[in-house]
Structure 1
Amino acid sequence: MSMSVAQPLSQSHRISRKLTICAETNVINVRPIVKGAVKEASHTLTDGYANNAVLDWCSRGATNDFLFTFFKSLINSATLSSRDFAVQVEGCKGVMIWTNQPQGFSLPSAAKLARMVGWAAALRSLMQYQPWRVKWRRKVMADYEEYLTIAYLGVLPHEQRKGYGSALLQYVLDKADAAHYPIFVEVTEMTAIPFFEYHGFVVKGQDLVCNHSELPVALMVREPILKADSPLPLRLKPGRRDSDNTI
């Protein structure tokens, strides 16, 4: 992924897209994905999940840009709910989508999704995979009234092992601990289980997507670390307006 450098503006009108690492403390800052970076963030998740077996199964028979179209739609939907639900680090080198809504984000109708990615992929995604996901999430989280869900977390392959994934995850962990919320995540890459275990997640269930032996999934939950007796409200930025009918 290439980036262009714009000519500098006058100091009074400068719009900064500086690196999100603080040079003094080496802390990676997490910030919401602005409207102008949605495409860049979608490419990041597309690259991060390029070899994901579950999404590859969903996209069979789809157009070549299935993943990009899927992630762009999801990011747009997330930012309409809250700007906090779609965040990035270091110029979109890492991206995370999460929510406090058990039903998740709204996706295009089957007909609209089919026009974008083809009927085979649309039906497999909406009629098989999504119902399977909902059933298992409800089963694992049946004892929790409120919880957070990490939908997707991806880092560009050549930018991994630099702390970007941990920084994105910590953004949600801090909110969950303050509000006393558990966090649910569906892990479709078995090599990612140790990463989540390192951050306090525990495997609560394992299954095969739609009974396909090549599509194992781990359902993981992290209990909040209580730092105060009373929970704080889950503070979320308002969502952006859908002024351009992007969904």
Structure 2
Amino acid sequence: MPVAISQMHISRKLTVNLDQNQLNVRPIIKGAMNEASYTLKEAFNSNSALEISALNLNENKRDGFLTNLFKNMIDTASLQSRDFAIQVEGCKGVLTWSTRSQLFSWPNTINTFKYARHLGWTSALRTILKLQSSVGDKLRRKIMAQFPKHIIIGFVGVLPLEQGKGLGTALLEHVLEKADESHYPVYVEATDYQTVKFFERFGFVSQGQIALTKDQLLTLTPMVRLPVAMNEPVTFHVRPGRRDSD
């Protein structure tokens, strides 16, 4: 059963590795989008949700489609704000986030794969762009109804050989710092146990488990983190989005 958000309790104690303070989190520039999308593709290559969704795509077509999917997502995030698509250590780790509609939630990503089987990746992306009242957005709006202003984590991924070095933690803590400063709660969707445990380390609480397939082989765990309010809130501010010519 979902946990009532109003009943959540978040510890103010977060484990911080001093070496992570030296990691430089920066926006993803247009020239690095191919590298950033490759990082997310490699990070999510073995994700159960994507494996099930892309079951009928051959490996080359699947990799190409997945890379383009993430590239489109990164591009869309950076057009909203330069701060919404970030990287660390030369794109070894990448995170997308927003305060607006989550363009590619997990349900949307799965639907994109379904469309891609019949339409190709370009047409599939165009189709998803038209689905403004998607399953993922409806779920998020329902869970976050009492928080009209909140942050949405899209996808966070680290190259397999670079995992365990604090890159994902640095990216997430960069966003959580902004959330705490402005007193914004944060919403994220997880599709496997390992991801749920990762976000739990930072105070995220599960809001229940949603079946994404009729056979319930694929599930979604929406999670919410309330802000750690240590000072008076500051006005939330992000830089304008980049232009297509940037």
TM-score by length of 2: 0.78
Q: Is 1:43 aligned to 2:26, yes or no?
A: no
CA shift, 1:66, in A, is 1.3
Give the structure 1 partner of residue 141 of structure 2: 138
Give, in whole Å, the separation in 2 of the partners of 1:125 and 1:172.
26
Which segments of 5 or more consecutive residues in structure 2 lack a partner in the other structure? 1-17
Give the structure 1 partner of residue 83 of structure 2: 84
Residues 6-25 of structure 1: pairs in structure 2 closer than 5 A: none
3-state SS, counterpart of residue 208 of structure 2? strand
CA shift, 1:90, in A, is 0.6
Residue 207 and residue 115 in structure 1: after superposition, are their counterparts in 2 closer, same or farther (change >3 A)? closer
Contact persistence 1:190–1:217 (CA under 8 A): no
Residue 25 and residue 183 in structure 1: after superposition, are their counterparts in 2 closer, same or farther (change >3 A)? closer
Residues 199-214 of structure 1: pairs in structure 2 closer than 5 A: 199-214=202-217
Q: AA paired with 1:235? A: H
Residues 163-174 of structure 1: pairs in structure 2 closer than 5 A: 163-174=166-177
Contact persistence 1:58–1:124 (CA under 8 A): no
Give the structure 2 partner of residue 54 of structure 1: 49
Residues 93-242 of structure 1: pairs in structure 2 closer than 5 A: 93-101=92-100, 103-105=101-103, 116-117=120-121, 131-229=134-232, 231-242=233-244
Q: AA paired with 1:173? A: L
Give, in whole Å, the separation in 1 of the partners of 2:147 and 2:33.
32
Contact persistence 1:41–1:88 (CA under 8 A): yes
* More divergent stretch after superposition (211-220 vs 55-64): 55-64
CA shift, 1:140, in A, is 1.4
Give CA-to-partner distance per residue, 1:160-190, whole Å, 9 cap, x none.
1100010000011000000110000001122
Residue 25 and residue 171 in structure 1: after superposition, are their counterparts in 2 closer, same or farther (change >3 A)? closer
Q: AA paired with 1:241? A: R
Contact persistence 1:202–1:220 (CA under 8 A): yes
Residue 123 and residue 210 in structure 1: after superposition, are their counterparts in 2 closer, same or farther (change >3 A)? farther
RCO comparison, higher one (Cα < 8 Å, 6+):
2
Which segments of 5 or more consecutive residues in structure 1 lack a partner in the other structure? 1-22
Residue 177 and residue 26 in structure 1: after superposition, are their counterparts in 2 closer, same or farther (change >3 A)? closer
Contact persistence 1:132–1:209 (CA under 8 A): no
Give, in whole Å, the separation in 1 of the partners of 2:44 and 2:235.
33
Q: Kindly report the root-mean-square deviation, in angstroms, between the aligned alpha carbons of the 2 structures.
A: 3.0
Number of corresponding residues: 215
TM-score by length of 1: 0.77
CA shift, 1:214, in A, is 1.3
Give the structure 2 partner of residue 70 of structure 1: 69
CA shift, 1:51, in A, is 1.2
Larger Rg: 1
